[in-house]
Amino acid sequence: MFGAVLALTWLVLGFWPFVFVAAAMAVGAIVGRIMDGKLSVANLVDAFRGKRSSS
């Protein structure tokens, strides 16, 4: 489903709208997982800092 949305965006609107839609989808997925409690903000920050978790 997501691939189809991205492919149609690229074909109809071009490259930069494709990049924007892909980034918006990624941000939405991350925010959704945080809201559901499936992703810890502290673990996410540690991952971007290069720290490894023990689990």
Contact status, residue 22 vs residue 10, Cβ threshold 8 Å: no
Report, as an integer, the average pLDDT of 8-26.
96
pTM value?
0.71
Q: What percent of the chain is predicted at pLDDT more than 90?
A: 58
* Model confidence band, residue 53 (pLDDT cutoffs 50, 70, 90): low
Structure tokens at 8: 């149609």
Query: What local confidence, expressed as pLDDT, does residue 11 receive?
Result: 96
**In degrees, to the nearest 5, what angle opens at C-alpha 15 toward C-alphas 49 and 34?**
35
Query: What local confidence, expressed as pLDDT, does residue 20 receive?
Result: 96
Query: What local confidence, expressed as pLDDT, does residue 55 receive?
Result: 56
Report, as an integer, the average pLDDT of 24-52.
88
Instruction: Compute the distance between CA of residue 19 and CA of residue 36 in angstroms, rounded to an integer.
Output: 26
